Amino acid sequence: MDLLKFFKYVDEHQTHYVSLLREAVEIKSVSAWPEARPEIVKMVHWVGDRLKKLGATVEYRDVGEQELPSGQKLALPPVLLGQLGTDPAKRTLCVYGHLDVQPAAREDGWATEPFQLIEKDGQLFGRGATDDKGPVLCWLHAVEALQATGQDIPINIKFVFEGMEESGSEGLDDLLAAEKDKFLAGTDFVCISDNYWLGKKKPCITYGLRGVCYFFIEVQCAKQDLHSGIFGGTVHEAMSDLMYMMNTLVDAEGRILVDGLKEQVAPLTPEERALYKDIDFDPEDYRKDIGTNCCIQKGDKAETLMARWRHPSLSLHGVHGAFSEDGAKTVIPMKVTGKFSIRIVPNMTPESVEKCVVEYLNKQWKKRASPNEMKAFMFHGGRCWVTDLTCPDLCVCRQAFMFHGGRCWVTDPHHPHYQAGARAIKSVFGVEPDLTREGGSIPVTLTFQEVTGKNVMLLPVGACDDGAHSQNEKINMTNYIQGIKMLGSYMNEVSKISE
């Protein structure tokens, strides 16, 4: 591949790439809004049409219906399966991305209209710019640029683009399982660009993800809401009980108080700790970006990174059933539900975490000695994903650590696929990427690993301050354009893998 020719073409067509991202951002493909379902379908077909122009075959797969909390049933948007190239002599890469976005409105605190792409000071603001429309377009732009410069696409590519990732990817797992020996057959590697650099300047490759377990604590004290002036002082109030229960979960330093959880965590080896030494990360810059007075780890780089990546964390998220609007309301709620989650890491599993948490909360409730009714349960069990940095044998790791139902996954990051990604990054940015883990969860990572049995890599395009899911989401112009070059170079490097 003539990379210089490819890079030059990309630089000369920046305006075109921005205009296409502008079109994509204007499509309000918010999966959390039932009324926006036609917009998601429009977005899926918008991408499909562009894949067809590149010569890909495209199928739109029906994945059933979604039942809303109201009981209404709504058709799920189709999943796009695209195939570019079927040359048996070439490597085959499966690329995943999502075309739906989080809700957004100007009144939420956006400085600009969220569904209009605004370019300012080298930044492209708009919902979906970095999560995940911008990175998806980078793949399409890279293919188009190679074709426009008269170069052969060096690999076969299978595209899987969905429209429900921000709402749980309903229907996707079943589809991928059904396509294991059909559309996905022949896949050599899987690449996902749906995460971000650790910092703002240095690229990275991500080799690990925490899983997530989501819990509810329900407390009920009466058959209906009560007037506090009439009934206050005569009932054991549900809210008081719930606050007591929530306060038993974590201490002021963020330590999880639930018995039996820390014993499940894989021990930290000296080799693993050494990996944090050279990672480009400034704890003080991180603190300032958050806008907090002090982080728990007080400026220790390794400890801060491990707290984000390789240690479990417990976060309290909210209370349902209590008065939460502006002003005052003197009501005693009949039932309240506290919500919290635990980010899990190797070697924790959702099953073992659920057992520990429910037993612990039942024990705390017994200490409370309240006559009210309490129920604690896990709502959602996610899966943690991690790559073993010292594993010498990928095949052994797959046999020993592949899991179903939420258990940890381990593989070898020294796999030629990771090395190809690192070479591609260096060819564009001139530096070796950091190997990073992330605290968030991308369940589809494990789905692809389980279904294909192949190496999966997270290759981010955006930077840490892009504000995905937040107000004023953006992608830097440099990340967007250099991301196109990186993915084109990555295709070239994948074509050379000879394992």
**CB count in 10 Å sphere of residue 370:** 18
pLDDT for position 383:
55
pLDDT for position 400:
26
352 neighbors 180 (Cβ within 8 angstroms): no
What is the topology classification, in CATH, of domain 3-209+385-495? Aminopeptidase (3.40.630)
pLDDT for position 441:
79
Catalytic positions, please?
Answer: 100, 165
* Model confidence band, residue 379 (pLDDT cutoffs 50, 70, 90): confident
> Running DSSP on this structure, what letter comes out for residue 469?
T
CA–CA gap between residue 499 and residue 284 (Å, rounded): 42
pLDDT for position 405:
29
Beta bridge partners of 162: 98
Q: What is the pLDDT of residues 450-482, one digit of tens each?
A: 999 999 999 999 999 999 999 999 999 999 999
Q: What is the pLDDT of residues 135-154, one digit of tens each?
A: 999 999 999 999 999 999 99
Cα separations in angstroms, 423 against 46, 250, 343, 416, 493? 32, 43, 32, 10, 7
pLDDT for position 413:
76
Report the percent of the chain where pLDDT is more than 90: 83
Mean pLDDT of 119-139: 98
pLDDT for position 391:
42
Closest CA to 458 of 409, 401, 392, 407: 409
Residue 490, helix vs strand vs coil: helix
Cα-trace Rg, the chain: 24
Q: What is the pLDDT of residues 384-443, one digit of tens each?
A: 666 544 443 333 232 222 222 234 555 677 889 999 999 999 999 999 999 998 888 788
pLDDT for position 248:
98
Domain span(s) for CATH 3.40.630.10 in the chain: 3-209+385-495
Statement: residue 234 has pLDDT above 90? yes
**CB count in 10 Å sphere of residue 79:** 23
pLDDT for position 414:
80
* Model confidence band, residue 198 (pLDDT cutoffs 50, 70, 90): very high
Mean pLDDT of 150-168: 96
Cα separations in angstroms, 489 against 5, 76, 143, 320? 12, 35, 11, 49
Q: What is the pLDDT of residues 72-119, one digit of tens each?
A: 899 999 999 999 999 999 999 999 999 999 999 999 999 999 999 999
Q: What is the pLDDT of residues 257-295, one digit of tens each?
A: 999 999 999 999 898 888 899 899 999 999 998 999 999
Beta bridge partners of 375: 218
Q: What is the pLDDT of residues 2-53, one digit of tens each?
A: 999 999 999 999 999 999 999 999 999 999 999 999 999 999 999 999 999 9
pLDDT for position 143:
98
Torsion, CA 98, CA 103, CA 107, CA 112, rounded to 10: 10
CA–CA gap between residue 65 and residue 406 (Å, rounded): 25
Task: Just give the CATH number of 213-268+310-381.
Answer: 3.30.70.360
pLDDT for position 446:
86
Mean pLDDT of 321-326: 93
**Please, what sign has the CA dihedral across residues 84, 417, 445, 340?**
negative
Q: Give the burial class of 346: count Cβ atoms within 10 A of its Cβ; 0-12 exposed, 13-18 middle, 19 or more buried.
A: buried
Statement: residue 210 has pLDDT above 50? yes
CA–CA gap between residue 229 and residue 233 (Å, rounded): 9
Domain span(s) for CATH 3.30.70.360 in the chain: 213-268+310-381
Closest CA to 208 of 399, 438, 430, 39: 438
pLDDT for position 168:
86
CA–CA gap between residue 372 and residue 237 (Å, rounded): 8
pLDDT for position 368:
98
Mean pLDDT across the chain: 92
pLDDT for position 402:
27
Q: Give the burial class of 15: count Cβ atoms within 10 A of its Cβ; 0-12 exposed, 13-18 middle, 19 or more buried.
A: exposed
CB neighbour burial string for 308-335, b if at least 16 within 10 angstroms, e if fewer: bbbbbbbeeeebebbeeeeeeeeebbbb
On whether the pTM is more than 0.95, the answer is: no
